[in-house]
Chain A
Amino acid sequence: MNEVAERTGLLADYDPGGRYCELFGPPSMQAPIPHTQALRERLARMSLDDLRERAHDAELELYNFGITFTVYTQKDAIDRILPFDAIPRPIPPDEWQTLETGVRQRVTAINRFLRDVYHERHVFSDGIVPPDVVFSNPNYRPEMEGLEVPYDTYAHIDGSDLIRDDDGTFYVLEDNARCPSGVSYMVENRHLMLRTFPDLIEDQPVRSVSNYGQRLRAALGEIAPQGVDDPTVVLLSPGTYNSAYFEHIFLAREMGVALVEGRDLVTEDDRVYVKTIRGLQPVHVIYRRINDDALDPRAFDPNSLLGVPGLFQAYRKGNVALANAIGTGVADDKALYAYMPRLIRYYLDEDPILPNVQTNLCREKEGLQYTLDHLDELVVKPVGEAGGYGITVGPHATKEELETCRQQILDRPHNWVSQPMISLSVAPTLVDGGIEPRHVDLRTFAVTGRDTWVAPGGLSRVALRKGSLIVNSSQGGGSKDTWVLE
């Protein structure tokens, strides 16, 4: 090995601090991952100044292109970029193979589960999942009971959040079966890499992610109502003030479909139309990026102005398809997460390819006891919250915080789960002090119409603050280009 050559230059002082490193591999670093050798060598030869200068160019480009998400303050809305870290995160082909089949397996199980919940409900009668886990979830939609959806697909677009532990094993941390976002950053990060670091990526066997839009458009075409040969697909957005508006623009452009808001659509005779300069034109498929609640004030929240009155009735009649289907939120909640391995075995008769993080359900007696006994070692999460809110990280919490947490659990045990601390893997990241290890996760994106395709890449989010485990963009995380190697 040319170990010595690699650990000179830019990477000479890099020390992953005993963590699993996405570039070098296991903590020992005795045998760095062979697939990342070319990348390591190229990085080692770059100067810190050069790297900084080009990273700066990349961020300026993000800002100028308006590749931003919106943060609300009391006074107004501020556009922020998702900071781009210049050092890519490679994934070797054998690992990707596992991730891809594992994600596909999981999405298949989720769709089978959703079909079952809204139809036969064997999952309850067979005692796999307690009914109240589903029925007490506010995302359960009784309106969907008995409704047929094309190919029995409910979660057409699904995002899985994965983390890697110290031993190198990937775990699923969370499923996102409603409106997962971030895929535009996966593609834009690659474009940035190609523009600002052509010498880093040149001749590298990196799989392309640029056809995500075409794959999504094809899948959406597949679910159009029967008898429609050339379906009109639209993307329904809450509008320019939504934090993911850039992504909505991105996807509409990539798919070549109209980006609409609720006020652009009307229903008539249980069909959906879009207002154009030629009058009303029929719409057949809607990729909606607004929540169930807001879709149709007649069927759901009457106060929401984002949706389209009468849309649900048109959907119910099969005159328009929605992706994702209504009511998929019962599959991505944190209580159900604990049952996912059992659901995979139940529906597919297979062992889970990607393990869950061990999850203690406070609703179950043993889970509750274990959680209360080990509060200072565990991460306690509320069921049905997103974005890293409401979480207590035991080892980092004060006595008072632990006591509050204990009380919250005792008050409503059904609302809480706990998990052991997973020390996320790290990746070399450019920070003020030079190149340092920072924790990363990975969100994969699966698209399902007739069958499932997993984009060969994903969004690697990186916690930019030293030691932080929180990678969410709303809490100061950045992102990296993710290379799936051939």
Chain B
Amino acid sequence: MSNLLSRYADAIFWMARYVERAEDLARVLDVTETFSRDSRGGQNWRSILELYDDVPAFFREYGEASAAAVIRFYTLDDRNTASILSNLGMARSNARTLRPLISTEMWTQLNIFYNRLRALGPQEIAEPRLARFCSMIKEGCQTHTGITEGTFYRDEGWCFYQLGKQLERADQTTRLLDSKYHNVLPSPEDVGSQVDVSRWNALLRSAAGYHAFRKIHPRGMTPGDVAGFMLFHEGFPRSVAACVDEVGERLTQLRSAYNIPGATAAMGRLDDLRTLLDTDIDGVIAFGLHEYLDRVQQYLNALSIEIGRDLLGHAPVSTSAT
């Protein structure tokens, strides 16, 4: 069928988001675990809850923000809709809905991946084994991405997949950066200094960006360099700018190649976002890194709502039959 159902477009968009979210959550947990091997350990685990606005939800179920409890909450806790297990469960459920559209290999991999995850016990997520668990999640999610890249039919559906994936990835990169902000930058003057290089190093590695970073910054590593790289570097696939570029390309494609009327409105929101990104790290630091990241997240969210309303049928669909 040449006309993608709105409900399917929505399911594709969210399937991509859920998988990306699970992968990025594994990255955040992984880097937190690395950071927490110091005196600020407990504080680190609590900061994830703040980062995702999950403090009330967490304390409804758990007594204290210990490493074990936070890890449990974000990995295998099926009562937490934001856990890795829940995200992959929803991705699988969307994939099930989408089976007429996606490749058999995409469905099979998500189905097996989710079933494997569901079978894991508490010992698999204990702190000493957390890195291993996170690797498994990253690998599973990237396998999904690779299979999708290699087998998913290229039409409007592919555009919606990319929109979901890239919007989520941009959002998560800002969170990853923000998650370390309080801990890594005790005072604004430290921006641009050489303090805590090992922590920024770990942050880059968690986003698989260390070697790419080294290519363009062969020597030294300042927090400003790292933040600038993760925000603006167009060659780095997890940078906010690279993700937003991809979103722009897909919206343009939906609008011009496929004649999807709703894409025009979303382009307006995208332009706001591009304007916000039209700066450099010095400008960001002058503005305040945390404040800036917050603003980027708000704009990404507004764009996502716009896409939902105009393209995915979240509001009444236009009644003009063609």
In contact, B5 and A264 (Cβ under 8 angstroms): yes
**Which residues of the other chain, A, contact B262 by a CB distance below 8 angstroms?**
277
| The one of B3, B9, B100 that contacts A252, using a Cβ cutoff of 8 Å | B100
Interface string of A258-279 (1 = CB under 8 A from B): 1111011000100001111111
Q: Does B260 contact A (CB under 8 A)?
A: yes
| The one of B5, B100, B320 that contacts A275, using a Cβ cutoff of 8 Å | B5
| Interface residues of chain B: helix, strand, loop or mixed (majority) | loop
Complex Cα spacing A256 to B3, Å:
12
Complex Cα spacing A279 to B111, Å:
32
Q: Does B93 contact A (CB under 8 A)?
A: yes
In contact, B321 and A273 (Cβ under 8 angstroms): yes
Question: Among A252, A259, A263, which residue has the most Cβ atoms of chain B within 10 A?
Answer: A259
| The one of A64, A232, A261, A264 that contacts B111, using a Cβ cutoff of 8 Å | A64
Q: Does A198 contact B (CB under 8 A)?
A: no
Q: Does B72 contact A (CB under 8 A)?
A: no
Among the listed stretches B56-64, B274-282, B283-291, B310-318, which one makes contact with chain A, having 4 or more residues with CB under 8 Å of it?
Answer: B310-318
In contact, A240 and B96 (Cβ under 8 angstroms): yes
Question: Among B100, B260, B321, which residue has the most Cβ atoms of chain A within 10 A?
Answer: B100
Known A64-B108, A258-B5, A274-B3; contact A279-B99, beta-carbon cutoff 8 A: no
Q: Does A390 contact B (CB under 8 A)?
A: no
Known A64-B112, A240-B93, A240-B97; contact A275-B321, beta-carbon cutoff 8 A: no
Known A264-B5, A278-B259; contact A66-B96, beta-carbon cutoff 8 A: yes
Q: Does A46 contact B (CB under 8 A)?
A: no
In contact, A232 and B321 (Cβ under 8 angstroms): no
In contact, B4 and A277 (Cβ under 8 angstroms): yes
Q: Does B261 contact A (CB under 8 A)?
A: yes
Q: Which residue of B lies closest to A239 (CB)?
A: B97
Complex Cα spacing A419 to B218, Å:
87
Q: Does B39 contact A (CB under 8 A)?
A: no
In contact, B322 and A281 (Cβ under 8 angstroms): yes
Question: Among A64, A249, A278, which residue has the most Cβ atoms of chain B within 10 A?
Answer: A278
**Which residues of the other chain, B, contact A256 by a CB distance below 8 angstroms?**
1
**Which residues of the other chain, A, contact B108 by a CB distance below 8 angstroms?**
64-66
Question: Among A64, A234, A249, A277, which residue has the most Cβ atoms of chain B within 10 A?
Answer: A277
| The one of A257, A260, A275 that contacts B313, using a Cβ cutoff of 8 Å | A275
Known A64-B112, A253-B100; contact A277-B321, beta-carbon cutoff 8 A: no
Q: Which residue of A lies closest to B262 (CB)?
A: A277
**Which residues of the other chain, B, contact A273 by a CB distance below 8 angstroms?**
321
Known A65-B104, A252-B100; contact A280-B5, beta-carbon cutoff 8 A: no
Q: Does A341 contact B (CB under 8 A)?
A: no
In contact, B7 and A278 (Cβ under 8 angstroms): no
Q: Does B156 contact A (CB under 8 A)?
A: yes
- Give the distance to chain B from A480, nearest Cβ to Cβ, in Å: 23
Complex Cα spacing A278 to B156, Å:
11
Known A249-B99, A278-B259, A279-B261; contact A268-B321, beta-carbon cutoff 8 A: yes
Q: Which residue of A lies closest to B104 (CB)?
A: A65
| The one of A65, A66, A261, A281 that contacts B3, using a Cβ cutoff of 8 Å | A281
Q: Does A93 contact B (CB under 8 A)?
A: no
Q: Does B319 contact A (CB under 8 A)?
A: yes
In contact, A278 and B111 (Cβ under 8 angstroms): no
Interface string of A269-296 (1 = CB under 8 A from B): 0000111111111100000000000000
**Which residues of the other chain, B, contact A268 by a CB distance below 8 angstroms?**
319, 321
**Which residues of the other chain, B, contact A275 by a CB distance below 8 angstroms?**
5-7, 313, 317
Residues of A within 8 A of B (CB): 64-66, 232, 234, 240, 245, 249, 252-253, 256-261, 263-264, 268, 273-282
Listed A/B pairs (10) with beta-carbon separation below 8 Å: A249-B100, A258-B1, A264-B5, A274-B5, A275-B313, A275-B317, A276-B6, A279-B318, A280-B318, A282-B321
Closest A-B pairs by Cβ, 4 of them? A276-B3, A249-B99, A252-B100, A258-B1
Given A64-B112, A66-B108, A257-B1, 14 other A-B residues pairs in contact with their CB atoms under 8 A? A64-B111, A240-B96, A245-B96, A258-B5, A276-B4, A277-B3, A277-B156, A277-B260, A277-B262, A277-B312, A280-B317, A280-B321, A281-B322, A282-B321
